Amino acid sequence: MVRAAVPRRLTWRVATVVDTRQETSSARTLVLDVPDWPGHLPGQHVDVRLTAEDGYTAQRSYSIASAWPSDDGGQVELTIQRLEDGEVSPYLADVVAKGDQIELRGPVGGWFVWREKQPAPVLLIAGGSGVVPLMAMIRARGLARGRQPFRLIYSVRTPEDVCFADELRRRVRDDPGLDVHFVYTRKAPEGSPVPPKRIDVAAVNSHGWPPDFQPDCFVCGPTSFVETAADILVALGHDPKRIRTERFGGA
């Protein structure tokens, strides 16, 4: 179970956009400068609050994509996937620009986190933008030079929908302890030996860890994807208590 952290009040902080990176046609990373940021664990999220000129506000939660401390010092990165009928994500994915400010508070969450002291191998299963908190874990492991073997199974519609593609390629190339397997649900890359399909028992069985390795499993994505992937893990014999899930719901 979770050990209670020292409770402290979460106050709204002003974050300044210092850089943006287009990840895919529908996902963008915001690099935020947050003065006095207390740091965070990989897997945690923040609440973002936007205020319109007339005082109307909207809040949403977004996973943190970066590890802490980030490679370039005191910054927090959010990777936002645009939801077509969303109220907040189109603004963050398309409109906000370098120099603009948004409010956030956090970090939030103590369950869906990877701690570098955990020696167990790790299985990460991502559905679409569910890769974001899992990427934070991969980055944190890199930062800590962790030797726990990591495997990521990343389900996307098409090769063009892969977030962090170059970075994942580089990390896999340079780090024998990290493997990434892609599951393409609508269009596979040119010359792929397997046709597009959804995540299934075979993919998790071949590219995950055997249950007797007792890996820590983190599954993140849309509800139906997480239900399927978690059910597969349980069916393969993984201890439900070692399977941590985070489901994205709402718009």
Partner 1 sequence: MGIISRGFGGRRRDSSPDLPPGQYLTHDFPVLSAGPTPRIPLDRWSFSIVTETGEKHSWNWDEFTALPAEEITVDIHCVTKWSKLGTGWKGVSLDTLFEDVESAADYAMAHSVGGYTTNVPVEDLLDGKAWIAYEFDGEPLHPEHGGPARLLIPHLYFWKSAKWVNGLRMMPEDEPGFWEAAGYHMYGDPWSEQRYHGD
Residues that bind partner 1 (CB under 8 A): 1-5, 7-10, 12, 14, 47, 49-53, 55-61, 87, 91, 95-96, 100-103, 108-112, 223, 226-227, 230-231, 233-234, 240-241, 243-245, 247, 249-251
> φ and ψ at 250, to 5 degrees?
75, -175
Cα separation of 140 and 137, whole Å?
5
Considering the complex, what minimum distance in angstroms separates the CB of residue 247 from partner 1?
5
The two tokens of residue 71 are 């490679």
Q: Which is nearer to partner 1, 17 or 67 (CB)?
A: 17
**What count of other Cβ atoms lies within 10 Å of the Cβ of residue 18?**
13
Cα separation of 130 and 110, whole Å?
17
Considering the complex, what minimum distance in angstroms separates the CB of residue 45 from partner 1?
9
Considering the complex, what minimum distance in angstroms separates the CB of residue 216 from partner 1?
12
DSSP letter at 64?
B
Considering the complex, what minimum distance in angstroms separates the CB of residue 219 from partner 1?
8
Q: Which is nearer to partner 1, 50 or 165 (CB)?
A: 50
Q: Which is nearer to partner 1, 109 or 128 (CB)?
A: 109
Gyration radius of the chain's alpha carbons: 18
Q: Which is nearer to partner 1, 25 or 51 (CB)?
A: 51
Considering the complex, what minimum distance in angstroms separates the CB of residue 188 from partner 1?
28
Considering the complex, what minimum distance in angstroms separates the CB of residue 74 from partner 1?
20
The two tokens of residue 250 are 């709402």
Q: Which is nearer to partner 1, 15 or 180 (CB)?
A: 15
Q: Which is nearer to partner 1, 20 or 61 (CB)?
A: 61
Do strands 122-127 and 216-222 pair parallel, antiparallel, or not at all (unpaired)? parallel
Q: Which is nearer to partner 1, 24 or 89 (CB)?
A: 89
> What angle, 0 to 180 degrees and rounded to 10, lies between the N-to-C axes of helices 131-143 and 165-174?
40
DSSP-based three-state secondary structure for 100: coil
Of 153, 157, 158, which is closest to residue 168 (Cα–Cα)? 153
Of 168, 164, 234, which is closest to residue 204 (Cα–Cα)? 234
Considering the complex, what minimum distance in angstroms separates the CB of residue 241 from partner 1?
7
End-to-end CA distance of the chain: 30
Of 239, 46, 217, which is closest to residue 118 (Cα–Cα)? 217
DSSP letter at 7?
P
